[in-house]
Structure 1
Amino acid sequence: MKKNYAIVLAAGKGTRMGSRVNKQFLNLDDRPVLYYSLHEFSKNKLIHGIILVCGEDKIEYCRENVIKRFKIGKIVDIVKGGTERQDSVLNGLDAVPSHECNIVLIHDAARPFVEDNIIKNGIKYAERYGASACGIRPKDTIKIADKLGFSLGTLDRSKLFCVQTPQCFNYDMILDCHRKLKEDGIKVTDDTAVIEHYGNKVYLYDGSYNNIKITTPEDMIIANSVIEKYQSLTLNV
């Protein structure tokens, strides 16, 4: 049986957070940010294994203070990150048991609130189309600005999509594209761009406005409010 694996990227430095602690290790309701996505993937029945990618100096910390402490299951391997995000992804892809992998989901640890249905739909659409990514429609009007700060025009909001993670792919396809990318010396900002660069299409499906990426101190305030909302819903069930 072909299996599905999640690669969780936790090797980023998070310089915009302005903290000496990497953002994925900051405490959110007495648990590290990294815990939440690992927990969600580990309890999803469609996920068979998790590869965690982190800084080489954080491997033991993650093993002892996150995985063992919070009893996170399905961890297949912890591998070191690379110089760039795409290098970290390739390291993660190389650690996946290639002979049995069907779909691989690539997720940023800085997005703690990935939901069960986002994971399920990502796998479903990746199986159907080869590649899929969740995201949301922008609520604001988006302008194009010139170098002097003047507006050049307004984009059609109905055609815009703010991409989130996880981004989900046929394993052989994304591995082949990432290896080509490395050979060609091209830099990209996310994995959908890797796929698209080599002529493949990505299906976009609904994510969640709660699936925020923690980047700045203000995001931690929003994250705490999401936690409070989840706790309130649980108490009212």
Structure 2
Amino acid sequence: MRAVALIPAAGMGKRMGAGMNKQYLLLDGRPILAHTLAVFQEASFVDDIYVVIPEAEIAFCREQVVGKYGFAKVRDVIAGGSERQHSVLNGIRALNGYREDDVVIIHDGVRPFIPTKILKHSIEVASQWDGALVAVPAKDTIKTVEAGVVTGTPPRENIWLAQTPQSFRHGIISAAHEIAAAEGFLGTDDASLVERMGRQVHVVMGDYRNIKITTPEDMLLAETFLKK
């Protein structure tokens, strides 16, 4: 079994309010994306890495991130799509030569704090079941709201906050994305596409520090994590 990481980083970062896409903002002197890729580069159990970014940034990413920081496991930099789901599908379609039981690890390019042990556990679970979703229990009470009015309070013990990586065997995640594309279905994450096939996605306990850096406040938090 091989483990291949698919890193979508095609977001425009509008909430960050910066002059460049968020994945290239510097965190401790290196782009956020470089911090993320370093986790997978250094993980001995990850064989290959594919990065998915806006087409106009491919040359820049190859030169200023992949080449500059020596990410030798990166096999290709692939053009993304208009939505994250489209970008992931482009990446999956580029995974030629992999077997159906090889594990595909889908991880946000702006989540640089994924612990290696959680990454490894995610791969192990995905190799045995239909999928592995890294998530953490909700700390706050959740409300459902319609037209500004509270309609319900789901039991907090049943609410988990999804993170990445989300890992699946190649055959399963490929089928899930192709079916969704054929039916025009746009899900909220990759696991939702596997769930709608009737497959069971198992939860892997995540880490509250495994944040997705999307706002200036997230950058401040990330800098604090690095100092610690």
- TM-score higher than 0.5 here? yes
Q: Deviations over 1:107-143 (max 9, x none)?
A: 1111111110111000010011120110111111112
Aligned counterparts, 1:63-74, within 5 A = 63-74=62-73
Q: Give the residue type in structure 2 aligned to 1:222.
A: L
Q: Which residue matches 1:184? A: 183
Separation in structure 2 between the aligned mates of residue 200 and residue 182 of structure 1, nearest angstrom: 18
Q: Is the 8 A contact 2:144 2:151 kept in 1?
A: yes
How far off its partner does 1:151 sit?
2.9
Opposite residue 51 of structure 1, the aligned amino acid is: Y
**Pairing of 1:1-237 with structure 2 (within 5 A):** 2-100=1-99, 102-148=102-148, 150-229=149-228
Q: How far apart, in 1, do the equivalents of 2:204 and 2:175 lie?
A: 24
Deviates more, 1:43-52 or 1:90-99: 90-99
Q: Secondary structure of the residue that 1:169 maps to in structure 2?
A: strand
Determine the structure 2 residue equivalent to 1:235.
Answer: none
For 2:126, the aligned partner's letter is A
Residue 100 of structure 1 and its aligned partner are, at CA, apart by 4.0
Distance 2:184 2:144 in 1: 29
Contact kept, 8 Å, 2:98 with 2:170, in 1: the verdict is no
* Number of residue pairs aligned between Structure 1 and Structure 2: 227
Unmatched segments (≥5 aa) in structure 2: none
Equivalent position SS for 1:53: strand
Give the SS at the match of 1:35: helix
Distance 2:138 2:10 in 1: 28
The runs of at least 4 aligned residues of structure 1 exceeding 4 Å deviation read none
How far, CA to CA, are the matches of 1:193 and 1:25 in structure 2? 28
- Shifted more, 102-111 versus 138-147: the winner is 138-147
1:63-85 CA deviation, whole Å, 9 max, x = no partner? 11111111112011111001111
CA–CA distance in structure 1, aligned partners of residues 128 and 50 of structure 2: 24
2:108–2:165 Cα contact (<8 Å) kept: yes
List alignment gaps of at least 5 residues for structure 1.
Answer: 230-237
1:40-71 deviation digits (Å, cap 9, x = unpaired)? 01111111000000111111111111111111
Q: Output the amino acid matched with 2:129.
A: Y
